[in-house]
Structure 1
């Protein structure tokens, strides 16, 4: 839990630093000079703007705060236009503040803001949430210690001033406490050695570090959420694609195995195997014929055409050959496909016989 809190604090510090950098950058780009509202008497203020190179500053004017509203001297139209969106630097008289010296160890510089906040209710009559406070730059003293001066005032005394500046449609107000009740020179630099910054408030519509921090945090959280959602979606899609790829690979393997058994590449081999199993071998047929033909029979022409045997030759008894072939397990349907003839110069008959071939594993007789 401590690690999570530390990471959260570091993230908040980083966001705050980035936001302040952005605000300072936009402030430097702002061409409008800051307007100074300097208290010379109680509730009497001098309004001035610093002169810039090549431009002359407008004449000072005075505004008196009476009760809860701006005083009898209203702002000139020029100042009303200048106030809109500008940074107003408010410097009050020293008698508005309560000051208390504070002596601390030197190591307290690292967390001086938190330490002084915890000491406000002890050093002043007000709680930290009910007061506007600040401190001077720490100065080293003897004995490895530092000293500073705490400056505080109740928020209730500042609300009329803040409402007055807000009614002028200013962009922001910065509160300074001066050590001396003197009117500083018109050089646009209030925060000098004799002036301490106590508070800065940005009005509605202006750019401030807190608002920028909230926007940056929201943007980063949204980006992190979108990244997590994208990773989850891609993981789910990737898992689905991997499963589809696995199924497709399996189907391809099965199809290839089927093609090896049934495909066109093995058609010739399958035909040869079938023909080997169904057709009788020529050597077997010749061996069977040599066993069953009589000794007085001579074959002059022999042709095996698929499942047909064609045989031409000479014999003493041609019809007897038909019977011999029919009795053989290798042949069937023996018949003459041409007339049997006898020549005067030949001792036997010339026959022309055809028979159907039957597959048989043995030789037979």
Structure 2
């Protein structure tokens, strides 16, 4: 029963992913009406069509939000304009925090994790309570990059998302002004979300049914392959385990040695040695890197120190046969009076330190 429940959950997730993909692909080939929604200084919003067409309202309309509904109520023409449209909200800077962030240029592949880890330090909110985004990195001197970062409270954005759902919009995007690298103001996208799922009328029904049916057939085949293959692999591993136990018993009987020496030897071969880990990590790290803290917990090692090029440490650790799955477990920082970067990296230790007897 547990296997069936897990298979059902996986199948539902698969169908949801396929439906989202269909919506994205269809959205690229279908031109949706765009409604621009600008926040005013008094807290109201003004809506206008980006490209008015015949039969659509051409005069902007202003309203305030009252329990996620526009007040005064929208006319029938404006309700029809919002239905199935893409709403592009532009917030004022009053409730937005803007920063210019500075990183090493090698950190371009890790921006999401590095920025997310610093949201609670850069803003009054935690990462879970904030809606934030950043612009394209701009190269500067000394092999560095600067990024325009903006954030606001999720409580500020959630009513706008609920309004878009109430009006039947297909998608909503929220942007806010940010301070550019050259000091100029630029719009930073904080959120871009599709609001219509599998039941949305924007995509022809036959296309949805055909694609989802194909995905369902592929999912069933994949499930059968996964579970049958997993069952056979489990049986093989169980058989190998029993063979290993039998061989160990035969060796003990043949040698007449029932003491704990064999267990100690096995533990020595499979347990990471602190001295050997220290020697291995000293070989991996470059001469310009200094480790101030080294912690070994189980099969994981954590190192903290100073270096000139923090992102390159991940690549060096991954290339070593003694370490795998290297990553940053805390943000890389640089103090104003320091020329090097303070890094926090961790990696799994390959638990093999000799050949068995």
TM range (shorter): 0.3 to 0.5
Question: TM-score of the superposition, structure 2-length normalised?
Answer: 0.48
